[in-house]
Structure 1
Amino acid sequence: MYNQKKTLYTEDGDILNEKHRNLTLKGTTANKGIAFGKISFLKRVASEFDKVKIRSINAECERFEKARQHAITQLSALYEASLEKLGEQNAVLFQIHQMMLDDPDYVSSINEVIRKEKANAEYAVHKVALRFEKQFLEMDNDYMRGRASDVIDISRRINEILMMHAGKIKSKGISFESDGPVILATDDLAPSETVQLDQHTVTGIITTKGSDRSHTAIFARTMGIPTVVCIGSKLTKRYEGKFAIIDANTGTVYIDPDEETILKFNEIKKTDDAQHSHLEEFRGVPTKTRSGRKIRLYANSGSLSDIDLVKASDAEGIGLFRSEYIYLQSKDYPTEDEQFEIYKEVLKGMGDKKVIIRTLDIGADKTAEYFMLKPEDNPAMGLRAIRLCLSNRALFKTQLRALYRASVYGNLSIMVPMITSVEEVTETKKIIEAVKKELTEQHLEFKDEVEFGIMIETPAAALISDELAPYVDFFSIGTNDLTQFTLAADRQNADLVKYLNPYHHSVVRLIEMTIQNGHAAGIWVGICGELASDEHFLGKLIQLGIDEMSVVPSSVLTLRAKIASLG
């Protein structure tokens, strides 16, 4: 029946479009785009396991151990396979999963259930997974809460392997009905499930739960799959096999759309595809505004394996190389020579193009066990980045030595994150001078003049940017942290998303202040946070006088085209 606003509902309470009587479901956009296909619900092997009495405890523990080792091997292969598809900064999640499978508490807890309850390994794994999930979800730290889905993912993997070994299933993983293009529907997707998807078969993803900031959403964006999440209980299996259209630009799913709606979205998709083809016209041309003002358009990178993606994107250089991923991939502190080889290959790979390498930014949501950092109530404001480096100078010197040794192989710039004071900059420069003196005494080659910059990602740094500018060659504004610190809203907390407004006047004023103070001191100013990729804010950044932008590789041509249309 109709309500006063003439909105038509089905018996189940779903909204029908007034004009065309199209059934629509609303959710949250995780990755924009238009997709067509039949809805197919994801099928998994059993997720709950009955308790079965076992005859031999030792044999069952050994069975679990074999499955665990098998899972670690799978994850190692998945990491390698994901590098090209997802990039290093996303693929590293599968290395984190490997480390979780090696966690002594997790392993001993499963063995304890097997021994104490004389229970089968599948039951023990499932029981411990639920216990760990509950513990993670109850933690105050958002990064740790995010590990809840990871422990379920790794536990599901072990149980699939156990069932395969027992002959209960023939193959592991996910399945769904596939007769032509498919819109995959599910409660949520684990990262390991998302990366398995065939992009030629799965044209779109819709979920009842999830978040536009989840690993799955990030993976979907990287893979270019239109995705709508958080549809809720309206998305049910009664839609299995129904033809649907995802309008992920508005977060709308059309079920059994009429011909007029299909034609409409076919035209929208054609326009989107044509726009993509139009972008190729901007490959190989300088990034300039209509008035001829040059903007340096660089790409972000997390590893040596990302270099091909950066080069394919036609970026003019690397504006942010996240060196912390070298540490996150390692089981112990990477040596000077190990780091040197990576930096050298990155610089050689980029030829004469600029490569800005950010020094270690471990802490907050990025950490490795061997650092043995103390638990913090608010790690984002704790011992991280430059604070960690200055409190462990041997660690810092090792990285700086590797960087300067690699400098002879390309066009290196170094920048330091999370600066809050002039003293942090001067202390860093003293360490650099000490490193250069050591290298000279050891007759090791390096470039003496390496461009040195800092990240402006705290309100403190922005407010004293006039005092900081004389000590550096450039500023790079990190808008993600600058926004969360300015607005006192943890960006890892999904409940605070509405408060994380990067367009807030306070954030914009700090950006403007930083640019003005940088230019007054004769240095260039760049931006490398998510705001750099925001087409809607691009005009404002150009107006404010930004000199450089570093974005995800997939955004380079889009932004170059947009910049060319601006005055």
Structure 2
Amino acid sequence: MQIYQGKSVFSGIAIGKIRVYKKNERQVKRVKVENPDAEMARFEEAKAKGIAQLGVLYEKACKEVGEANAAIFEVHQMMMEDDGYNESVENIIKSQGVNAEYAVATTGDNFAQMFSAMDDDYMRERAADVKDISERLISILNGDDTDASLNDEPAIIVADDLAPSETVQMDKDKVLSFVTVHGSLNSHTAILARTMAIPALVGTPLPLDESVDGKLGIVDGSDGTIYVDPDEETLAAMQKRRTEEEEKKKLLLTLKGKENITLDGQKILLYANIGNIKDLAAVMQNDAGGIGLFRSEFIYLEQDHYPTEEEQFRIYKQAAETMAGKRVIIRTLDIGADKQCDYFEMEKEENPALGCRAIRICLTRPEIFKTQLRALFRASAYGKIAIMYPMITSVGEVRQIKAIVEEVKASLAEQGIEYGNPEQGIMIETPAAAIISDELAKEVDFFSIGTNDLSQYTLAIDRQNTKLDPFFDPHHPAILRMIQMVVENAHKAGIWAGICGELGADQELTKEFLAMGVDELSVSPGSILPLRKIILETNVAEYKAGKKC
């Protein structure tokens, strides 16, 4: 038995034959051509065929993994049509008088190296995308088959890395698990694995040869381990665990439709966090009571221009209508720190996490803010929308926001445009806001505690710096005391308080949050039913009594 350790993308147990997936090995030769124009025509024909193939893949992916995850193929289509990419290919063909395959391969390598050298994680991931489109074009130019089909038997797919186009072409019924030597937790393959809800590992240093291929394998997604040719004892133990996990999933489904109420009658709201309206299906499937965090910044991040009022209005209106009277809390623009948007033309900052971000951008660029507020207030006439303002540190900021809101409402009324009366709340994600939460509570309708940033600022630990992981304690008493204080101050003022950060889904803290009197937990859709199970099985009074003993 061989054991290899990787990074877990999605938990669960997969048991089956291992299949080493290898890309078509092709060497691209540099060949001088007599007619560069004819070579350019070959390239253009291959590009048109490639764009058509990606369109087919997009449709297939929409059906299997949803529009949000299929969007990568639209990105690949755009990359194939990118002026810079095409001009590079044309320049190499015409200036060097060489074949299209060589020009595409060279351009792909150059662009991939450029993306890989960038500081931004998202942009580094684009290196894999540009390699993918270049491989596709070379395959078409060579007349190769680009189908990533599998054998009939379901298998654990092991590869050096997998491009999105390769994963989506695979028959999902034949994939038990993905394990890659390279790749990151933020790669599109990782995202697809999570969507498919299958165990997956990345960064796993295992050989891609006959010592693995065809052998029985076990992938343990909970701790990032793959066992090759397991012994009988390990196999029996893992089969038992897999059966137990399948039973747990079935039991969780029986919790759909149940109220989130403890054994001693304490109620709590379970809401979902989403990035865009394409996530609404997962919200409905997992029986969320509402949306506790709609990250509106993704509307901006997915565009190359400032989203217009109408563009935003349509999105917010659709969310409100789809949720049919359930609360939809939309966070206003939260650009900055690790979420950069080129067309905002932000000045480079030494410490962007402490710089101009979120509400600070909105208050210093009021026209952008007013556009979003107009769209939000208009959409609030179509459902139960609530508006939430991020990165608040003072009462003065809240009053500035209120003044801008009144301007927006007056403008809409003057134009005869219908708008609603949404709840307005703030995120508590700075120690400053937590400490003065008694004063802030007098100004707003609700609090939502953003534990990701609250933890970062309280502990003075950059949450993007993995080297500091040993020092980071999400259960630090200071963080829990701040949450307790915020909840108490909210209730004294007669408003409700929820949690929308990662700690909300931490099952080790669910009973603690119930004991604190937290009114709402907003988590990823897949975390809702597991949390409901804990809530239904908890007696809060007994838990509190046990803590005192």
With normalisation by structure 2, the TM-score equals 0.88
Shift of the alpha carbon at 1:265? 2.1
Correspondence for 2:144 among 169, 179, 182:
169
Shift of the alpha carbon at 1:202? 0.6
* Residues 260/130 of structure 1: CA separation in 2 closer, same or farther (3 Å cut): same
1:154 correspondence with 2:130:
yes
1:193 correspondence with 2:162:
no
Correspondence for 1:436 among 396, 409, 417:
409
Q: Indicate the larger mover: 309-318 or 491-500.
A: 491-500
Correspondence for 2:282 among 297, 303, 309:
309
Query: Residue by residue, what CA displacement relative to the aligned partner does 1:72-108 show, whole Å, maximum 9, x if unpaired?
Result: 5555665565456555665555555555555544443
Which residue in the other structure is 1:29 paired with? Answer: 8
* Residues 397/36 of structure 1: CA separation in 2 closer, same or farther (3 Å cut): same
* Residues 491/345 of structure 1: CA separation in 2 closer, same or farther (3 Å cut): same
Which residue in the other structure is 1:265 paired with? Answer: 238
Q: Distance in 2 between matches of 1:377 and 1:67?
A: 45
Shift of the alpha carbon at 1:564? 1.3
Shift of the alpha carbon at 1:442? 1.6
Task: Give the gaps of 5 or more residues in structure 1.
Answer: 1-21
Secondary structure of 1:222 counterpart: helix
Q: Distance in 2 between matches of 1:440 and 1:265?
A: 64
Which residue in the other structure is 1:401 paired with? Answer: 374
Q: Distance in 1 between matches of 2:48 and 2:472?
A: 41
Secondary structure of 1:471 counterpart: coil
Counterpart amino acid of residue 189 in structure 1: L
Query: Residue by residue, what CA displacement relative to the aligned partner does 1:129-169 show, whole Å, maximum 9, x if unpaired?
Result: 33333334434x3xx244234233233223323432x3430
Q: Distance in 2 between matches of 1:70 and 1:501?
A: 52
Shift of the alpha carbon at 1:284? 0.8
* Residues 148/498 of structure 1: CA separation in 2 closer, same or farther (3 Å cut): same
Q: Distance in 2 between matches of 1:62 and 1:370?
A: 34
1:34–1:226: 8 Å Cα contact kept in structure 2?
A: yes
Runs of 4+ residues deviating >6 angstroms: none
Task: Give the gaps of 5 or more residues in structure 2.
Answer: 540-549
Q: Distance in 1 between matches of 2:58 and 2:472?
A: 32
Q: Distance in 2 between matches of 1:59 and 1:428?
A: 61
Correspondence for 1:473 among 445, 457, 469:
445
1:297–1:316: 8 Å Cα contact kept in structure 2?
A: yes
Describe how 1:323-338 pairs up with structure 2 within 5 A.
Answer: 323-338=296-311
Describe how 1:137-148 pairs up with structure 2 within 5 A.
Answer: 137-139=116-118, 141=119, 144-148=120-124
Correspondence for 2:489 among 507, 513, 517:
517
Counterpart amino acid of residue 155 in structure 2: V
Correspondence for 2:102 among 96, 115, 123:
123
1:416–1:453: 8 Å Cα contact kept in structure 2?
A: yes
Counterpart amino acid of residue 131 in structure 1: N
Q: Indicate the larger mover: 312-321 or 522-531.
A: 522-531
1:546 correspondence with 2:518:
yes
Q: Distance in 1 between matches of 2:337 and 2:64?
A: 26
2:380–2:419: 8 Å Cα contact kept in structure 1?
A: yes
How many residues are aligned here? 539
Q: Distance in 1 between matches of 2:126 and 2:234?
A: 39
Counterpart amino acid of residue 30 in structure 1: V
Q: CA RMSD in A?
A: 2.9
Correspondence for 1:204 among 174, 177, 192:
177
Query: Residue by residue, what CA displacement relative to the aligned partner does 1:256-279 show, whole Å, maximum 9, x if unpaired?
Result: 224443333222111111111111
1:133–1:149: 8 Å Cα contact kept in structure 2?
A: no
1:149–1:190: 8 Å Cα contact kept in structure 2?
A: no
Q: Distance in 1 between matches of 2:67 and 2:280?
A: 10
* Residues 112/271 of structure 1: CA separation in 2 closer, same or farther (3 Å cut): same
Q: Indicate the larger mover: 290-299 or 256-265.
A: 256-265
Which residue in the other structure is 1:17 paired with? Answer: none
Counterpart amino acid of residue 215 in structure 2: K
Q: Distance in 2 between matches of 1:115 and 1:282?
A: 65
2:262–2:537: 8 Å Cα contact kept in structure 1?
A: yes
1:536 correspondence with 2:508:
yes
Counterpart amino acid of residue 157 in structure 1: I
1:239 correspondence with 2:207:
no
Counterpart amino acid of residue 422 in structure 1: V
Q: Distance in 1 between matches of 2:407 and 2:34?
A: 65
Q: Distance in 2 between matches of 1:311 and 1:162?
A: 42
Which residue in the other structure is 2:385 paired with? Answer: 412
Which residue in the other structure is 2:34 paired with? Answer: 55
Query: Residue by residue, what CA displacement relative to the aligned partner does 1:27-79 show, whole Å, maximum 9, x if unpaired?
Result: 23221101111111122234653322233334434544554555555556655
Correspondence for 1:351 among 299, 324, 327:
324
With normalisation by structure 1, the TM-score equals 0.86
* Residues 163/137 of structure 1: CA separation in 2 closer, same or farther (3 Å cut): closer
Q: Distance in 2 between matches of 1:67 and 1:366?
A: 35
Q: Distance in 2 between matches of 1:384 and 1:67?
A: 43
**Sequence identity of aligned pairs in percent?**
47
1:25–1:253: 8 Å Cα contact kept in structure 2?
A: yes
Counterpart amino acid of residue 532 in structure 2: R
1:44–1:175: 8 Å Cα contact kept in structure 2?
A: no
Q: Distance in 2 between matches of 1:409 and 1:458?
A: 32
Describe how 1:435-514 pairs up with structure 2 within 5 A.
Answer: 435-447=408-420, 449-514=421-486
1:280 correspondence with 2:253:
yes
1:133 correspondence with 2:112:
yes
Which residue in the other structure is 2:18 paired with? Answer: 39
* Residues 536/162 of structure 1: CA separation in 2 closer, same or farther (3 Å cut): same
Q: Distance in 2 between matches of 1:194 and 1:493?
A: 30
Q: Indicate the larger mover: 218-227 or 333-342.
A: 333-342
1:88–1:305: 8 Å Cα contact kept in structure 2?
A: yes
* Residues 502/377 of structure 1: CA separation in 2 closer, same or farther (3 Å cut): same
